[in-house]
Amino acid sequence: MVGPMYVPAHFAMTDAQIQDVLMRMGSADLVTHHASGLLATPLPFVFDPSRGAHGALLGHVARNNRQWSEPTTCESLVVVSLTDHYVSPADVPSSREHGRVVPTWDYVTVHVYGDLIAHDDLAWTGQVVRRLTDHHEGRSGSGRPEWSVDEAAPGYVDAMLRAVVGLELQITRIEAKAKMAQNKAPADVVALAELLAAEGDAEGERWLRDVSLPAAQARADTLAALRR
């Protein structure tokens, strides 16, 4: 039995933060265990909080991929990563102030466990394809999809659907961790946010400014009060 993910209290995520990550998710890694061993496939999923007690992840996989047809021997796992990046001491002011800084790697990850169900059903899979398409097309910033499934050539989508099988991960439990500089100085967090903004990592920058910076400031205030 695999133990829980190591999550220090200051890197723990709230239920609202976890749901926000799942609503924003793009592709993720589906990991399953079978009699023949482990299988893993990167796949796009869409989160549906209304399905089951804890919600479900919906997607599809190539029909020739035996991950859907070979029975699983235990819970399946989907690893969702919102952002991740290397943190160099050269990028933070603390390195120049006192030098007590080492390289590290920051990330936001959600591990979703559940029972994997295959839907070899054209109608079911077709609905998921539409939801996935609308979800990702809607990210353009215009507030509406740039392209819809209905714009494909007549009969083409139906032909493509025969080559895939729908997947549903009925969620049983979730483990999550956001290691995003909450334990660093506020100035370091700001510097990292500006760096990610320059690199085009909008999700990482948003997390640093909205979540990590308030946490870092609260920690700095607490330490200052203890010194006094």
Q: How many CB atoms lie within 10 A of CB 13?
A: 20
Q: Is the pTM of this model over 0.95?
A: no
- Domain 9-179 superfamily per CATH: Electron Transport, Fmn-binding Protein; Chain A (2.30.110.10)
Handedness of CA 110, 18, 193, 212 (dihedral sign): negative
Q: What is the pLDDT of residue 3?
A: 64
Q: What is the pLDDT of residue 145?
A: 73
Q: What is the pLDDT of residue 146?
A: 81
At residue 63, what is the residue type? R
Q: What is the pLDDT of residue 1?
A: 45
Q: What is the pLDDT of residue 227?
A: 87
For the record, the structure tokens of 89 come out as 């001491």
What is the Cα 194 distance to its own chain's centre? Answer: 22
Q: What is the pLDDT of residue 140?
A: 55
From-to residues of CATH 2.30.110.10 in the chain: 9-179
Please state whether 122 falls in left (phi above 0), alpha (psi between -120 and 50) or beta. Answer: alpha
Q: What is the pLDDT of residue 139?
A: 66
Do 74 and 107 contact (CB within 8 A), yes or no? no
Alpha-carbon span 35 to 45, nearest angstrom: 25
Residue ranges in the chain modelled with pLDDT below 50: 1
Q: What is the pLDDT of residue 127?
A: 96
Identify the CA nearest to 80 among candidates 50, 124, 110, 122: 110
Do 89 and 158 contact (CB within 8 A), yes or no? no
For the record, the structure tokens of 193 come out as 């946010």
